[in-house]
Structure 1
Amino acid sequence: MDVFGSVADQYETARPGYPPELADAITDYHGGTPSRVVEVGAGTGKGTEVLVTLAAPLTCIEPDPRMASRLTDKFPQAHVLLSTFEQWRPPPEGVALLACAMAWHWLEPATRNAKARAALTAGGTLALFGHRYGYADPDQATAIHTMLDTLDPTAKERPADWMYHDVIAAGEFTDVHVKRFRRKLPLTRDEYLALVSTFGPFLARPPQLQRQGLDALGRLVDDFGGTITLDLLTTLTLGRAA
């Protein structure tokens, strides 16, 4: 997850936050305020913005010191632990709620569900949430996807509900279900390019390919009048530790 440290400031300003309704959905599922919350891969705190409203003691695990620094400045009430999820040792009594926003795919696939289950108290809640960046205008969607496929045909996008299916397949949790929240988000050319510049697949590409991609996307946005409207789908996967 430390790939994002080099763009920590841009990540904080360009990435959209989460709908506040997530907090109510988590509380309702859990059956009240959790006694303790741990957030995995907290980054600069986009998911933390939701979790602090639960008004429970909060520990945020983040492996990149640059992201963790932003997190500490923004949420002084949270305990920020510089660590990976795999290195983290949960308290012996367990935690009531384990949450992860847009970072589940960075955790070790073979062990993430089992480790999450082991960290929770009996009846504890797993809450995974993240965005799927679609496009409200079908013409914009087709043009952007065609251009991106031309630049890098190997790039693949996960299904919107992939975290739900991942938890189901692992078999570690009961009462697993998914909630969806949708909103339209218009972005200017600069806002859209700043957002794209924080995506993991983009950051993993060579600088020359990054520049080519941003130039091509910029021209597309200009052709569409200078604005891109995202169809922002937020999914919340909830599971219970038996």
Structure 2
Amino acid sequence: MTLVFGEVASIYDDVRPGYPDEVRQAIIAYAGKPPRAIVELGAGTGKATELLLRLGAPLTAVEPDPRMADLLRGKFPQATVEETTFEQWVPAEPPDLIACATAWHWMDAETRNHRAFDRLAPGGALAIFYHRYNVLDPAQSDAIDELLTRIDPDVPDKDEHWVLDDVTAAGIWSDVREWRFHAHPVFGKERYLALMQTFSPFRRHSAELRKRTLDGLGALLDDFGGEITLELRTTLVLGRKPGAPD
């Protein structure tokens, strides 16, 4: 599944929202100073890379899908792109910030925390941030949920605090904290249907189920007046590797 997003890399890059600058500000405030070196895991097409580069440090982007990696190189030539998985990646030097945006769930659950911990410099920070896409209007939200559940009753839905729970349960990070940020972007019908095509539950469907999903959502968006307002919740979780920085 980690490679299916490359099938829609350009759509992903066009319609997926980026991350608010408050994420960057919170990382600096937490660390006490800008990082000296950054590694981004599962960088995709660079939705978070742009924000992380504004921290002003050399950045290495780890991305396993060659189609996403090619797009990433074209957009951010100043970044070093390593076309590999987190599990296979070995840093030349330990970074003092490892970041992961909406990709932590693709890392091996049994090893991801310890792997990041081992690759960080002493005193370094882990920053995981991700969006949750909700619909602002409750009636519209219920209608969309009913449609999607009818098409696929087995779509997983993680608890909003699952990353905080995961990082805390690892028992190795100190000073674990969680922040929340909210935005309300308006999506027209075609843009919302394109956004739906970038989500993994949609991508794993058969062609027939994909068509049913898009047709059903398109009809609902027509009923909603051709657009929808999202409640975009961005969560940031930070943890620190004990030890004095070099």
Do Structure 1 and Structure 2 share a fold, with TM-score over 0.5?
yes
**Whose strand fraction is larger, Structure 1's or Structure 2's?**
1
Q: Distance in 2 between matches of 1:221 and 1:55?
A: 41
What letter corresponds to residue 200 of structure 1 in structure 2? S
Supply the RMSD in Å over aligned alpha carbons. Answer: 0.7
Q: Distance in 1 between matches of 2:51 and 2:158?
A: 24
Q: Deviations over 1:209-242 (max 9, x none)?
A: 0010000001011111111110000000000001
Shift of 1:206: 0.6
Give the structure 1 partner of residue 48 of structure 2.
47
Give the structure 2 partner of residue 76 of structure 1.
77
Give the structure 1 partner of residue 16 of structure 2.
15
Structure 1: segments with no counterpart, 5+ residues = none
- Of stretches 21-30 and 230-239 in structure 1, the one that deviates more from structure 2 is 21-30
Q: Distance in 1 between matches of 2:12 and 2:183?
A: 20
Q: Distance in 1 between matches of 2:82 and 2:197?
A: 26
Give the structure 1 partner of residue 143 of structure 2.
143
- How many residues in Structure 1 have an aligned counterpart in Structure 2? 241
Give the structure 2 partner of residue 101 of structure 1.
101
What letter corresponds to residue 117 of structure 1 in structure 2? F
Structure 2: segments with no counterpart, 5+ residues = none
Give the structure 1 partner of residue 199 of structure 2.
199
Q: Deviations over 1:149-207 (max 9, x none)?
A: 10000112111121111101111211001000001111000010000000011101111
Shift of 1:72: 0.4
Give the structure 1 partner of residue 181 of structure 2.
181
Shift of 1:90: 2.2
Name the TM-score, length of structure 2 as normaliser: 0.97
What letter corresponds to residue 234 of structure 1 in structure 2? T
- For the pair 1:119 / 2:146, whether they are aligned, the reply is no
Q: Deviations over 1:28-73 (max 9, x none)?
A: 1111111100000000000101100000010000001100011001
Runs of 4+ in 1 over 6 A off after TM superposition: none
Give the structure 2 partner of residue 88 of structure 1.
89
Name the TM-score, length of structure 1 as normaliser: 0.98
Q: Distance in 1 between matches of 2:129 and 2:99?
A: 8
